[in-house]
Amino acid sequence: MRNNPFATNTRTTNQLMLLVCAGLIPGAITQFYFFGWGILINLILCGVFAISAEALVLKIRKRSILKTLKDNSALLTGLLLGLAIPPLLPWWMSFIGVYFAIIFAKHLYGGLGYNPFNPAMIGYVLLLISFPLAMTNWLPTSELLTLKPDLMQSIELTFFGVTNDSLSNISKNVTDIKTLADGFTMATPLDHIRTSLTQGFMLSEIQSQSNENVAFTINSNSWIWVNIAYLVGGIYLLFLKIIRWHIPVSIMASMVVSSIFLSMLDDQIYLSASDHLFYGASMLSVFFIATDPVSASTTQKGRLVYGALIGFTLIMIRTFGSYPDAFAFAVILLNIASPTIDHYFRPKVYGTNITGKKIPIKIMDDNLQKDNLRGNDFKDDHNE
Amino acid sequence: MNSMHKNTTLNATYKFHGGIHPTENKLISSSSSIVKLEPGKLFRIQVNQSSVQNVEQTIDIIVTKGQKVVLGEVLTSFQSSINLLNVPVHSPCNGTVLEIELFSCGHKSSLPEMTIIIQANEETPHETSVTKLKNKWTEESQKSLINKIRNAGIVGLGGATFPTHVKLSSPLSSDSINPATLIINAMECEPYITCDDRLIRDYANKIIEGALIVSRIVNCEKIVFAIEDNKPEAVLAIQESIKQITEIELGLSILVAPTKYPSGGEKQLIQIVTGQELTKQQLPKDLNILVQNVATLFAVYQAIVLNRNLTERLVTITGDLVDEPGNYWIPFGTPFSEIITKFNISKKDLDFIIIGGPLMGQKISSFDIPTSKKVNCLIFNKRIVKVEVKDCIRCGECETVCPIKLLPQQLYWFSKSEQWKPMEQLDLKACIECGACDYVCPSDIPLVDYFRFAKSEVKHLLFKEKASELSKQRFDNREKRLNRIKLARKAKQKKATQDRKKASENKSIDPDGKKTAILDALNRVKNKTKQKNETNTGLSNEE
């Protein structure tokens, strides 16, 4: 039987994880709106794979399956990976990614709380390196598709790679679906800009081309909306104090500072800060992936440093590396560094500060009625 | 009359790091007024009720088995002992000493303590031993006031039970940065407890008078009455009573701080009032500060003005098993079992009683234990559902709430792997065991338990280190000494051989020693004549 304290906050790890999953909802709905059924299939597939993988490992490790599954951490890993991979990805790729994430990145290190890396990002990076083509070819916004796959067709495409076009009655595979009416495939904005840059175009040229290209504008706008939706979800998490402001704010600040510095050097080659923030998986990663407490730094100062370094690394890889969206790499690299960061950025223990900050408080007035002053019992702000 | 200007309510405080806002549950007991509990028949008085340990041997029990005692009569003495720390205890009733025995009183070490059992007489008339005449304390010397406080058995009644006279024995100095300040601790930040709140509402004048006595003893320039903003009635009562005081030339102010646990901790309170942190070596008096709890000040008032010894205190009886929760005057020594019967608490729902608040309180499952000076609150709650301890997810909430700015999560990590050295480097010793980290932990890890254990281990480790350091020093010293002796012996031997050599050399020149004998004789004669001449000249000089 434990000793004092006998009072405890009611919010548990299980609830925390579930609330983070809830925070994903606006982003997931927006993605579903723009990219169709494939998103939903990915979410369900990855979620189921994650839970089954966790159950399997727990069985092998002879741990209580239900008790551990209740913490919802596996579900969250699955959902994050499901949102990060492109829609209509073959089911077995999702399977490999999720199983690798849960078994290798999580349980081989000891399970929840012991994994040095973010499992979802390890799964993502494995897939990205193993299947670069499938992983980088995002589905264009549904609006632009000649064939908008419905639920059944999406399932067929995910599981068998082909579906029957009900109009022309010709079987089509995933590449056919991704090909637009003009015969081109549509990359994500970051991909597109990167490819054009390597072809020797200036940013202003790409910009003017894009303005003429209606399809590109529609596609990049959809990405901006997705990022805004994740931003909303992230602010909800901040508001509930599930995540703290340190990591998201420092990542975004460092992204802005780094990209402004680069575009001051040459604004024709280096992308602007707003492009970096609102294209790709930026907001999803800033609020939901980098803030994973297990693999991130834990001290408050450390978190600022951790976030700042992620932002910087991200911009560097995006600008000079070969991956257009490198959030997974930036996060994993800093996961390695977080124990060291924790070691060097500790808070100053009580007894070192000489003078404190004054905070104003409400003035007690003699004339106030006693009854007005004493309301209900003050409740913990966490519980509401 | 400028008292309105003089006695202001401060409207800004300093902030301390972290802190939590647990569900207060104070209305359960604060809404009913104070009641005097009908005293029982049997009292068990612990001989040592202060926080000072290892003084039991130095306490003289001056009553014997079968002796009759009256209410407030002193049961132990300290006069003959050298120990300056212990305080006497007094009889809570008129009665007879039944037994003096060892009894396990729920000390955390679970060691039995010396107790005196007193059987009350049929009728215990109250306030007989109390002089109705008010004492003129302003004319008394500080030393006699301190003595009276000690004789009355007063210890810190906020729950820490540190002997008050020790705190008062060192007068405060005053400088421009830190004026000598008495901080009255009325924060009462723990959930459930309301005894200080009710005490202030009913006895504000007396508490202020007690504060004036204490401020006279330690030469205070300023008195700050610090209280949380969840006790508005108490604030009003104190404001009223301060308005009545006109003749005292003291800066007396009320500081209403935002409600946050653990603002009632001494270090946190000093931080709230002055913004200053105490370094590891410092005590409050190094910042010219004295912190006293309101209940202690009330006891001081009773001891000095009414000549009444400390035999009872206000106790909050609360919890969901209590029919009439509230604040009660309960004499020390009343067994918990008697309180359980008086309040009709169903024993089958009761696993344990919490002494003190739910965050820093102590769990008691043996109900024969008596109340003592540290018992400010008794919580009788239904059996709680067992929480499930999960793995740490390093969320860092514990760091956010730690008032000492420690890293509970890393400390936990190290204590789990039994790495005591890094824990010491992370300043584990500074932990005040407030339980805030434990409270917010989403994985329900009993962090405070880990830290308490680690503290003892670190202590043990440091002790061992010190011991090994000492023995190493001893060894080194011994080595040095042995070496020195060895060298000295060698030198002696060398000298002896040289002497022998010399002697043998001399021998070779002068085989039977005749020559030396002649030389010696000649020298002697020479010296004698020389001496003679000297005495002669001395005489002539005199002439």
Give A-chain residues touching B396 at CB under 8 angstroms: 244, 293, 298-300, 303
**What CA–CA distances, in Å, run from B220 to A93, B180, B210?**
76, 5, 13
Chain A contact probe: residue of B228, B390, B453 with most A CBs at under 10 A: B390
Considering only the beta carbons, identify the residue of B20, B399, B403 that sits closest to A298.
B399
Measure the CA–CA gap between B225 and B182, rounded to whole angstroms. 8
Question: Which of chain A's residues have a Cβ under 8 Å away from the Cβ of B194?
Answer: none
**Nearest by CB: B257 against A3, A9, A361:** A361
Contact A273, B370 (CB under 8 A): no
Mapped onto helix, strand or coil, the DSSP state of residue A298 is: coil
Q: At what angle do helices A300-320 and A327-344 cross, to 10 degrees?
A: 150
Question: What number is the average pLDDT over the span B374-400?
Answer: 86
pLDDT (tens digit, 9 = 90+) per residue, A97-150?
999 999 999 999 988 889 999 999 999 999 999 998 888 778 777 777 777 788
Pairwise CA distance, residues A305 & A171, whole Å = 52
pTM over 0.90: no
Fold (topology level) of B3-16+23-121+149-327 = Rossmann fold (3.40.50)
pLDDT score at A366:
41
The count of other CB atoms within 10 Å of the CB of residue B136 is: 8
pLDDT at position B495: 92
Question: pLDDT band for position B234 (50/70/90)?
Answer: very high
Q: Does the beta carbon of B191 lie under 8 angstroms from any beta carbon of chain A?
A: yes
Tell me the per-residue pLDDT of B29-85, one tens digit each, with 9 for 90 and over: 888 888 888 888 889 988 888 877 666 666 778 888 888 888 888 888 876 555 677
Residues B299 and B154 sit within 8 Å (Cβ to Cβ): yes
**Cβ A370–B232 below 8 Å, yes or no?**
yes
Say whether the ipTM exceeds 0.85: no
Range with the lowest mean pLDDT among A61-70, B70-79, B328-337?
B70-79
**CA of A67 to nearest chain B CA: how many angstroms apart?**
10
Comparing A139-143, A168-172, B148-152, B218-222, which segment has the lowest mean pLDDT? A168-172
Mutate to test the interface with B, among A1, A3, A4 (most CBs of B within 10 A): A4
Q: Who contacts A368 (Cβ-Cβ below 8 Å, separation ≥6)?
A: B232
Q: Which residues in chain B have their CB less than 8 angstroms from residue A76's CB?
A: none
Position B249 scores a pLDDT of 61
Q: Give the amino acid at B180.
A: A
Q: What residues of B are in contact with residue A1 (Cβ under 8 Å)? A: 363
Dump pLDDT digits (tens) for B409-424: 999 999 988 888 888 8
**Helix boundaries (H) for B219-305:** 232-244, 266-274, 294-305
Q: What is the pLDDT of residue A295?
A: 92
Kindly state the DSSP code that residue B169 receives in the 8-state scheme.
Answer: T
CB B2 within 8 A of CB B242: no
Average pLDDT, chain B: 84
Which two structure tokens, joined as six digits, stand for B380?
Answer: 């009788």
Cβ of residue B449 closer than 8 Å to a chain A Cβ? yes
Handedness of CA A39, A44, A47, A48 (dihedral sign): negative
Handedness of CA A69, A70, A72, A73 (dihedral sign): negative
Chain-chain contact of A366 with B239 (C-beta, under 8 angstroms): yes
Q: How far is B313 from chain A (nearest CA, A)?
A: 24
pLDDT band at A169 (very low <50, low <70, confident <90, very high): low
Kindly provide the residue ranges of all beta strands, DSSP E only, lying in B324-392, ordered along the sequence.
326-331, 350-355, 362-364, 377-382
Which pair of structure tokens corresponds to residue A363? Answer: 């003035």
Residue-level length of chain A: 384
Scan for tokens 């008010």, then name that residue.
Answer: B134
Residues A349, B405: C-beta atoms closer than 8 Å: yes
Give the rounded distance of the alpha carbon of A265 from its chain centre. 30
At B2, the pLDDT band (50, 70, 90 cuts) reads very low
For the stretch B182-214, pLDDT in tens is 999 999 999 999 999 999 999 998 999 899 889
Domain boundaries, chain B: 3-16+23-121+149-327, 328-382, 398-509
| CA-based nearest residue to B352, from B342, B366, B340 | B366
